[in-house]
Amino acid sequence: MNNHSPARGPLDGYLVVDLSRALAGPHAGMMLADLGARVIKVETPGTGDDTRGWGPPFVGPEETPQATYFLSCNRNKESIALDLKSEDGAAVLTDLVRRADVLVENFRPGVLDRLGFPPDRLHQLNPRLVILSISGFGHDGPEATRSGYDQIVQGEAGLMSLTGSGAGDPQRVGVPIADLLSGMYGAFGLLAALLERERTGKGQVVRTSLLAAVVGVHAFQGTRHTVAGEVPAAQGNHHPSIAPYGLFSCREGMVQISVGSERLWEAFAAAFGIDASRAEFADNARRVRNRPALVAAVEQAFADIEAEPLLEKLRAAGIPAGKVRTLDEVYAWEQVHSQGLVVDVEHPVLGTVSLPGPPLRFFDAVQGTESTRRVHAAPPLLDQHGDAIRRWLAGSPQPAAAESTEA
């Protein structure tokens, strides 16, 4: 680890070798890069990460099209192309491992071993190395060798049975949530392992999977089964345990409301002329059991009010409420920009492009100042930094942070 610079982020000075591809591992690597770590992405010569070819949409010149999928999960990284089956590629990876704090991989279990880099050898090369290993269904057990693809795991792990308009309408979540969650859990686990390394001086292997990540967020739906013996099913856009909580029609539109307490229910009912004392609505449990009648009563109260005036009336009554925005509306929203959730980067082919930004911010509570990283680098071209990384490994001075992302 190198000297830390607070301006770069809390992980400045840490080196991450990212062997992963597609989304789960790259998302974890990007989280670390956003926090200031130097992340070197190792890619297949010629083709690079699979997501470089996932599209449309592609943007940029026809001769060098850039996949927006790849751009979504690789900012603040450097790229080097290595054939890990070759003597040269294995030698470069060996040099990187000796210097690294973290290695991220999401090969199928056993692949890294066959390439000559099983965990025991990695720790012989660098006892302080923390290894994050992400698989589809787990690294052991009867189905460890199965390939892990997000939508398949969403189905296998029960998430699709909970998503959709009803029990006969299973739906995938609109983003690759199993991939993203496993990357987030993985980043969380390896940060814990880095903290433990401060006490022990030794690295370790952190393992998670797409399956584990989805089961890990079953939350109250999981305990409905494990404790209460129920088998939850999809219920569309209404909360299974709170009512009224969901998406409701109004005049020429829809709004969402969350009435999560009896105090809010009384205020809501009073504001919209609903009899809160009706026996079937007397408490939350009865409102949940009588949801069809409740939804009908709410939508009758909303029927003559358009969405924007309705939202104003809900806010005036103190009821949490909102609209369903399209993504163009989200990225034009002042609140999103105020939170740093859109960042501009300079791409060597595309010029200035805007990317969804990192979701964490950092503050000094005593001085009242923010130390969140503000300058970000574009996702790299394939092997963009290969020569510079090889020179550094050969003994040349490590490039400064601002220089390490130049073409």
Catalytic residues: 179
Q: Kind and range of the H or E element at 268?
A: helix 262-271
- Two structure tokens written together for 55: 């599209």
Sign of CA dihedral 111, 117, 121, 124: negative
Residues 6+ apart with CB under 8 A from 207: 133, 134, 135, 138, 139
The CB density around residue 199, as the number of other CB atoms within 10 Å, is 7
Instruction: Please check whether residue 82 is in contact with residue 91, taking contact to mean a CB–CB distance below 8 angstroms.
Output: no
Q: Which tokens sit at 315?
A: 């806010």
For residue 153, give the nearest of 130, 181, 124 by alpha carbon: 181
| Assigned token pair, 237 | 């856009």
DSSP for 12-29, written as a single string = TT-EEEE---SSHHHHHH
Q: Would you say how long the chain is, in residues?
A: 407
